[in-house]
Structure 1
């Protein structure tokens, strides 16, 4: 099988609506095992026969009196949950599935159905717990297809949080039954999360060879191409996908990133502006647009976006950092210092923010803050010409001549002609400091 070979050779789609399995013994309708364990003349058997034909209301009417007489019947409780699930009453269905599990903890079907329903309700961790218990159980009567469904659903849910486990669960699904249309895409997503780019790229390309309209596969492959800095290869893929789905926010975001890397800043900003209008509440898009404005030398346009986003997420380190950079570009140094200090309280390991703080403090003549910021930066990154120069000028302005000379000399040794203006200043300050000594 293609997917099995890809998965074994290497080492998604999100969880969409899953087909809930029919109750025990109800599929196929004409199977000899359909009513295994249930007398054909009982209301329970009649109800399940109606359910197999999707006649849910007659089935419900048969089940209600049965449950009045048999309130702990796990199978009947599951049947009721199945009907509620099929008729799109998820909260009631969850309760019924839970009652069925409480009545029989070893029943496979309610575990699977509850896991699938919780996944559709974006309650992923709870779904994973139910599905893990489901795959450890056996359906009654045997149903390899339902078992494969449980393993496959579990693989989808775990594909980013636990890709190694997801890979094993997908392989189990493939051992139990035939390959499904989305399995190659799922393999690609698992491989991506597992940093197996070779397997992931092969799988994404295989999906696109059969389904060139797949936005998910396009986005996955483009992610890998951007990672490999293959921007010229990514752009036509994105434009082709967007010709089919021009409003897709993920594809538009990727195209904006691609164009930015290619130096096509104006077009990238235009895309992000449209996206921001479509999804003004999306912090990622807002942050990208603000960053594009800042990078393009329009910090005044970025400022209201960042301010608005920070009202909703005041402790978001990325937003605080972005605002600090933006304020630095606007020469609003005291405000930049405050924003960067707030960002560093949340994420103190950000060496770039420590450097930006040192620059803002130097511009604001807060030389003690410069030295403190550079000392903190040194915990997370190596010293460079920039940090040497900032230290030198801070010590110089604090009249600590010995340290200033030391760092001016370190700066000149590491700058290698890359910063002629600063080199000229350092050379002249060394002369002046030498005379003063």
Structure 2
């Protein structure tokens, strides 16, 4: 299994040494020791360090990052990895979502009803890019759906579907509706929607990427990997696709391919 030094973590992820070492000293991450007692991180550790760095970039104080991740770790129980939890910054707080739970504030445990997809770990991608201007009716229904997402998700879904009926090649409704479905844990519905989108827009890398994320949430890593690889074929500079593919390859025990994709991610981050 490949390992990474603290210097690697700083270079690849951009995480400040002070944040990484604080996570180690607090027991959030437990790396092994190499020659001269150098810290050696696993790929799972690197995923968590990447999440911590995203929170740091969002101006979350280090002490709050540590407290939040410590509480999440305690809630998972012994032996349960933190990489299964979706973690993101929400304003000046750290919000999480775990299996079987709604969004909750990591430090206080308070429920967050407006938790949205798009966390730093395995984030769903939302985009306002479209290959060409959609029909007027489709655009109108899309805007209605966007306005209704928070308060009336059922009506929002109906509006997005009306937009797609009017313009099947309109990218944005696929992305927004798919993210809504995944946020509601309707991963199978999301995957079906993304496949429908791919049938209309086969060369759109965002659809392949989001399909891969939905398949990962269904615990179908092999199929997810195929979609990540297709995304990378279409967009070789899609950094998150390389990172997520590396994570799956590492989990499946294919260290060589994991390293190859992680090196591509590193080059793109530079």
Larger % of strand: which? Answer: 2
Larger % of helix: which? Answer: 1
What TM-score do you get using the length of structure 1 for normalisation? 0.31
What TM-score do you get using the length of structure 2 for normalisation? 0.49
Which protein has the larger Cα radius of gyration, Structure 1 or Structure 2?
Answer: 1
